[in-house]
Structure 1
Amino acid sequence: MPAQIDIKEVHWLLDIVQCIDVGVVVLDRQYRVEVWNAFMENHSGLGPDQVQGRSLFELFPDIDRPWLERKVESVVQLGTRAFSLWQQRPYLMRFKSYQPITGQADFMYQNVTLLPLAGQPVEHVCLVIYDMTAAAVAAQANG
């Protein structure tokens, strides 16, 4: 018997996804955007209605497509998480840096976690994007 969905819990989870200070993007296997949270809207300038159902590569042509496709494919095939650290690849999507005090970075440094979402085969991948600009600027200042 399937577990009953508690609507109250669903609303809480949606509130959390919208309010956390990380980007949350869910892509289908054709790289079309299905979920786009407030962090992504605030940093990209694109609302959910502008990105829903559109290809991530169409929205952000500067993404290194072969690299992201390899990462996503490994997540799908292995059913495990994958990571990208700002030290290896400074960003997935080039967002303007919002460091009002230091202003020492031209773009937002990002860590990215790629998560396979439930289902066999995996049909959706979640990208979690962390703003690592403060850490990157500090690390660069310390040599």
Structure 2
Amino acid sequence: MSDDAAVDDSPSPSPADVAAVVSARRFTQSEVDQIVQERLRRSRPSDYEEVARTAEAVDEMERLIGEKEQALAQARFEARRDALALHHAVPIDLRDEFMTSTDETTLAMQAERLARLAAQQRATGNVAPREGSVRVSGASNDREERHFVNDLFGNDNF
């Protein structure tokens, strides 16, 4: 053996000796907590706190990336919906209320249906059948209605 190496010639204590010493000593809960904390501190790597902070930062970044991916997916969906509406000439008010599907096939079907509806509405225009006509009071139909109402309520006056 080399001179630098120190040899410990003292006999190691037997398990019975260690048990006798430990059983004679009673620990309080705070002493046990302190011993456990000290051993945990010694067993942690020296850069444990830095690694923990880095892990928290990574978790936060992953959460932010997830939020940004959701926002991007929503923006892409709205862009696709707007493109379909523009292609089919769907009015904006109809697009916002009726093009609500989340899959592209159904969205295209909705756009086609709304385009047909809008085209039909443009072709017929706003229809008011009696617009511009003058209603003449005292017509035969009016007289019949008055007579019916007077009979109903028992009035003899016209």
What's the TM-score once normalised by structure 2's chain length? 0.19
Q: Which has the larger radius of gyration?
A: 2
Q: Which has the higher contact order (CA 8 A, sep 6+)?
A: 1
Larger relative helix fraction: 2
Larger relative strand fraction: 1
What's the TM-score once normalised by structure 1's chain length? 0.21
